[in-house]
Amino acid sequence: MLAAGSASRMGSIKQLLPYRGRTLIEHAIQHASDAGFSPIVVVLGAKAEEIEPVVQKTSCQVVVNPDWATGMGSSLKAGVKKLLELRPDAPGLAALLADQPRISARQLISMVQIFEEGRFPIVASEYDGSIGVPAIFGHEFFPNLLNLPAEAGARHLLRDAGPYLHRYSLPEAAIDVDTPHDYAELS
């Protein structure tokens, strides 16, 4: 779970904003846990010292990416490395964001079921005419994730995945919390 950004457009630590009786990051962690993801690795960066105590109340593993400011690719790499340290035999990795509160555990479970059928080594969300995260990558794509440029996210990898990719319709993934207006729109 990526939660390393500075939230500069928000003007505050968005991972710690209240949402439905807990913080946004706790909400995302709960859904990942309810979907059966284990271990859950949370990648922190900006304001890690303020966010980490909240994450440590859970069973998640925390990795602090000192290079978070270079881009999402560096945070993805940090997460993959930590996962491989914890579970070298992991069959796959789910890339999640802490600021997509409309995504449910049920939807994540559906994505896992498609992945486990074995026909597609990548299952990615499709929304607003694009593909993105949440996305599940089979272990054969771990080297690709580890070789992402620091400034790039997984989007170009998803765009080039062709027949290896299953597009999972998930319009709720388009709703992320980046600005005070986005946060005010959540109900």
Which residue in the block uniquely carries the two structure tokens 């690709």? 144
Residue 29 contacts residue 45 (beta carbons within 8 Å): no
pLDDT value of residue 153? 84
CATH code, domain with 14: 3.90.550.10
CA dihedral (38, 113, 154, 30) in degrees, to 10, reads -40
Which tokens in the block code for residue 141? Answer: 């794509």
**Nearest residue to 26 via CA among 37, 15, 36, 35:** 15
What range defines the domain where residue 128 resides? 2-185
* Helix, strand, coil distribution of the chain in percent, nearest 5: 40, 20, 35
Contact 157, 72 (CB under 8 A): no
* Model pLDDT, residue 121: 97
Check residue 187 and give its pLDDT: 63
pLDDT in tens, the chain (187 residues): 999 988 788 878 999 999 999 999 999 999 999 999 999 999 999 999 999 999 999 999 999 999 999 999 999 999 999 999 999 999 999 999 999 999 999 999 999 999 999 999 999 999 999 999 999 999 999 999 999 998 888 888 999 999 999 999 999 999 989 888 988 888 6
Q: What pLDDT was estimated at residue 10?
A: 86
The per-residue pLDDT of the chain, averaged, comes to 94
Q: How far apart are CA 101 and CA 185, in angstroms?
A: 12
Measure CA 129 to chain center. Answer: 19
Q: What pLDDT digit, counting tens, does each position of 100-137 carry? A: 999 999 999 999 999 999 999 999 999 999 999 999 99
Q: How many structural domains comprise the chain?
A: 1
Amino acid in position 13: I
- Return the amino acid letter for 84: L
